Amino acid sequence: MKATKILALILALALAVCAFAACGDKANDEDVNTNAQGEQAPEESDTIVMGTQIGFPPFEVFDDNAQPAGFDIDLSNMIADAAGKKLQIENMDFGGLIAAIQSGKIDFSAAGMSVTEERLQSVDFSKPYYSSRQVIVVPADSTIASKEDLLGKKVAVQEGTTGDSMVREFKETDNGEPKDNTVSFKLNADVAMEVLNGRADAFVLDEEPSKAIVAQNEGKLKILDVEFGTEEYAIAVKKGNTELLDIINGVIDQMMSDGTYDAMIAEYFPDRAVEAEGEAPVDGAEGAIDQLAEDVDANADAADTAAADAVAE
Ligand code: GLN
């Protein structure tokens, strides 16, 4: 009798802890549902969870009130609206986003994440919404002037990013250099700090955050005009979540056709708009959209090929 009472107490306590802590967490909710109710689908939640790593300007930053803001945040709000849900943002390491999508901890990522063949094995991507590239950043007085000059030099990268794998691959395969000349960090800011403090010779990051870092450290750094290849940012969802993917692609189509995308480009990339205006006074964002439309097709082809390959295997 006494033992049962104690057991009941422990159970009650566990439930109380659960109510106040981890069980409010979406991932745990799902676990609870599957464990307790077998095949039954998890309860419909009124929130949709987006994962990102804040500190990637101008896509995800903290604004003056320490609130998440930026291009990806705006896009995520549009996605949540279209899904009829409240947006919840989970700030996490970029390198952990794919696993978080796979485990259901987050519903989608909006993190300046580039579509790659490797990631396509683990998640599904929306249509691309931005074309970017990796750039090499060095101290203003550095003699490094080319990609080849990075060989044998210490290069800082952000862990788990395309820049990380590109630098490692370049150093390893083309010239047999040891890859331990590359150091990785979880935050863009730390990657840049390594070069600013003279502990690394260069860093390789996406173009837009690199521009922001160079601007913040006036006169100290320069971006090399060197091609590391272009990449497309897209939203990632759990493999097979076509319901959400359709909503996201609908939002992307809509924003590209109704002027929202142009407005966002003008807001977040003022120098892009100025550059383009210099060439053609019409509308700078239009060229970017045409380019993106081509990229969208190219990406759809790549996705089809990947899908066909997967079927063939
Ligand atoms: N675009 C890069 C990638 O997909 C970096 C993204 C990021 O650091 N947020 O790997």
Ordered by where they begin, the domains of the chain are 47-129+234-312 (3.40.190.10), 132-231 (3.40.190.10)
Contacts of 200 (CB under 8 A, 6+ apart): 154, 155, 156, 183, 194
Spell out the long-range contacts of 39-46 with Cβ–Cβ below 8 A and sequence spacing 24 or more: 45/85, 46/85, 46/86
Mutation test of ligand 1: which of 113, 131, 159 has the most ligand atoms closer than 8 Å to its C-beta?
A: 113
Q: Which atom of ligand 1 is nearest to the CA of 52?
A: 9
Q: Supply the residue whose CA is at minimum distance from atom 7 of ligand 1.
A: 112
Q: Does residue 113 line the site of ligand 1, with CB under 6 A?
A: yes
- Residue-level pLDDT at 28: 41
Distance between CA 194 and CA 100 in Å, rounded? 28
Give 158 Cα–ligand 1 centroid separation in angstroms. 8
Both tokens of 10, joined, read: 């422990």
- Residue-level pLDDT at 14: 47
- Residue-level pLDDT at 4: 52
Q: Which atom of ligand 1 is nearest to the CA of 233?
A: 1
Cis peptide upstream of residue 58 (ω within 30 degrees of 0): yes
Give 111 Cα–ligand 1 centroid separation in angstroms. 7
Give 37 Cα–ligand 1 centroid separation in angstroms. 38
- Residue-level pLDDT at 313: 38
Distance between CA 141 and CA 174 in Å, rounded? 27
- Residue-level pLDDT at 227: 81
Distance between CA 204 and CA 85 in Å, rounded? 37
- Residue-level pLDDT at 17: 44
Residue-wise over 171-188: b if at least 16 C-beta within 10 A, else e? beeeeebeeebbbbbbbb
- Residue-level pLDDT at 211: 95
- Residue-level pLDDT at 97: 98
Q: Does residue 114 line the site of ligand 1, with CB under 6 A?
A: yes
Q: Supply the residue whose CA is at minimum distance from atom 5 of ligand 1.
A: 161
Q: Which atom of ligand 1 is nearest to the CA of 116?
A: 4
- Residue-level pLDDT at 170: 86
Both tokens of 287, joined, read: 């060229």
Q: Does residue 53 line the site of ligand 1, with CB under 6 A?
A: yes
- What global pTM score does this model have? 0.76
Q: Does residue 56 line the site of ligand 1, with CB under 6 A?
A: yes
Q: Supply the residue whose CA is at minimum distance from atom 10 of ligand 1.
A: 161
Residues 223-247 pLDDT 10s: 999 888 899 999 999 999 999 999 9
- Residue-level pLDDT at 43: 63
- Residue-level pLDDT at 180: 65
- Residue-level pLDDT at 267: 96
Give 113 Cα–ligand 1 centroid separation in angstroms. 5
- Residue-level pLDDT at 127: 98
- Residue-level pLDDT at 273: 61
Give 192 Cα–ligand 1 centroid separation in angstroms. 15
Q: Which atom of ligand 1 is nearest to the CA of 132?
A: 1
- Residue-level pLDDT at 169: 86
Q: Which atom of ligand 1 is nearest to the CA of 56?
A: 9
Give 164 Cα–ligand 1 centroid separation in angstroms. 9
- Residue-level pLDDT at 181: 84
Distance between CA 48 and CA 111 in Å, rounded? 16
Give 284 Cα–ligand 1 centroid separation in angstroms. 25
Q: Which atom of ligand 1 is nearest to the CA of 111?
A: 9
The parts of the chain modelled with pLDDT lower than 50 are: 1, 7, 9-40, 277-293, 295-297, 299-300, 302-313
Q: Does residue 184 line the site of ligand 1, with CB under 6 A?
A: no
Question: How is 248-274 classified by DSSP, letter by letter?
Answer: HHHHHHHHHHSSHHHHHHHHH-HHHHH
